[in-house]
Amino acid sequence: MKKTCLAVASLIALMMLHPATVRAGAGELPPPIAFVSNFLQLSDAQTASLIGMIQSRDAAMRPIAEALQAKQQALQNLLDTPNPDAAAVGTLMVEINTGQHQIAAIAQSAAASFAATLTDEQKQRMNFVHQAEQVAPVIPAFKALGL
């Protein structure tokens, strides 16, 4: 727990020391990309790699997400009928689950490919973020109690 608290404190300190500033150039980066780029202290090439990864990931996910949306609507329509066909419901649920797993695999693969471009120091910063993510849900409760 002490390591996690230290990680969160370090993350907050680093965020305060390195505010999200947009790099000058052909155009401004979207705020999340600018923040990540500045927080991780990415080079221009790494920032371009991040943007490319996001575009490739989104392009790969889009048709799956569209198919999932259609299948979820079909499932809802089927469930709204008086006597839904159990086999059809089961088939749609399996197909939806498969699509969700495909999207998760694409996201995981994209994140891993981006992480491979990071230096050791950048990976440590990224690990701080992942550690902070684990404790983030409990922070409001501690704040509410004044702890």
Residue type, 22: V
Instruction: Say what the pLDDT of residue 21 is.
Output: 37
Task: Name which of 23-27, 65-69, 78-82, 113-117 the model is least confident about.
Answer: 23-27
Domain ranges of the chain: 2-144
Q: d(Cα 58, Cα 136) in Å, to the nearest integer?
A: 26
pLDDT of residue 32: 93
Contact 132, 68 (CB under 8 A): no
Q: How far apart are CA 123 and CA 31, in angstroms?
A: 21
What was the pLDDT predicted at 48?
93
What is the pLDDT confidence band of residue 28, given thresholds at 50, 70 and 90?
Answer: confident
- What is the average pLDDT across 125-146? 92
Whether 7 shows a pLDDT value over 70: the answer reads no
Q: What is the pLDDT of residue 147?
A: 87
Which of 19-23, 62-66, 131-135 bottoms out in mean pLDDT, i.e. has the lowest? 19-23
In sequence order, what DSSP letters do the residues of 58-117 get, joined into one string?
HHHHHHHHHHHHHHHHHHHHHHTSSS--HHHHHHHHHHHHHHHHHHHHHHHHHHHHHHTT
* pLDDT (0 to 100) of residue 16: 38
State how far the Cα of 9 lies from the Cα of 131, in Å rounded to an integer: 11
**pTM (two decimals):** 0.73
Q: How far apart are CA 142 and CA 147, in angstroms?
A: 5
> According to the model, what pLDDT value does residue 45 have?
94
